[in-house]
Structure 1
């Protein structure tokens, strides 16, 4: 059963400029495994975090670093949640997230489907 769907797009150049102007933003938005990636990858991961929030109903109180996009060598990227995001997902019965990331022509995008068990 689909619990929620989220989509987000990010202008990569604008996002990169914001990170340059506010260096501490990287620590507020990204976990250890995400920091240090190129701007287009960070923008796609930020889009994924926004898409996850939308799929969960965009509740107040979600912590950006409680959601990350992780990728093992050769495998597709996966949404990993903990803390506030994991609590909201559990509250809604989400058992799995499906994720698609893209970045092309200066735009990064993400689509997330939150899947739960049968009612």
Structure 2
């Protein structure tokens, strides 16, 4: 296996919150319903959404920043162990396949008002 791409992104949580308040429908364009809810069924907080947005930005960078990717073609989820993962389909899966991506590595963090994510595409 070899590294095909690495992406990193940060999102200021307050700024992200302002964006989703200012732009009706933005949350639905960025996230799948499964990403909006905690395992308990409660709605995720803004920091949790901001870190998922950062992960999607990092994913796009790991793929070389190609145009035409749909945000909802990438799902950020967390395994029972607490490890974050990516599930891709559609436009994202097509670009990943074109580049030979076989697996993803994801790291998420949010602290001090900033959400950050690193994505490594491996093939």
The two structures have a TM-score, normalised by structure 1, of: 0.94
What do residues 65-102 of structure 1 show as CA deviations (whole Å, max 9, x unaligned)? Answer: 00110113333110110000000000000000100000
Which shifted more, 64-73 or 77-86?
64-73
Moved over 6 A (4+): none
Is 1:115 the counterpart of 2:122? The answer is yes
- Number of paired residues? 116
Instruction: Quote the Cα distance in structure 2 between the aligned partners of 1:23 and 1:47.
Output: 20
Alignment of structure 1 residues 45-56 onto 2, 5 Å: 45-56=52-63
Cα RMSD between the aligned structures?
0.9
Which shifted more, 80-89 or 66-75?
66-75
Select which of 98, 101, 119 maps to 1:91: 98
Instruction: Quote the Cα distance in structure 1 between the aligned partners of 2:87 and 2:52.
Output: 12
Q: Which runs of 5+ in 2 are unaligned?
A: 37-42
The two structures have a TM-score, normalised by structure 2, of: 0.91
Query: Which position in structure 2 is the counterpart of 1:82?
Result: 89
Query: Which position in structure 2 is the counterpart of 1:65?
Result: 72
Which shifted more, 70-79 or 18-27?
70-79
Q: Which runs of 5+ in 1 are unaligned?
A: none
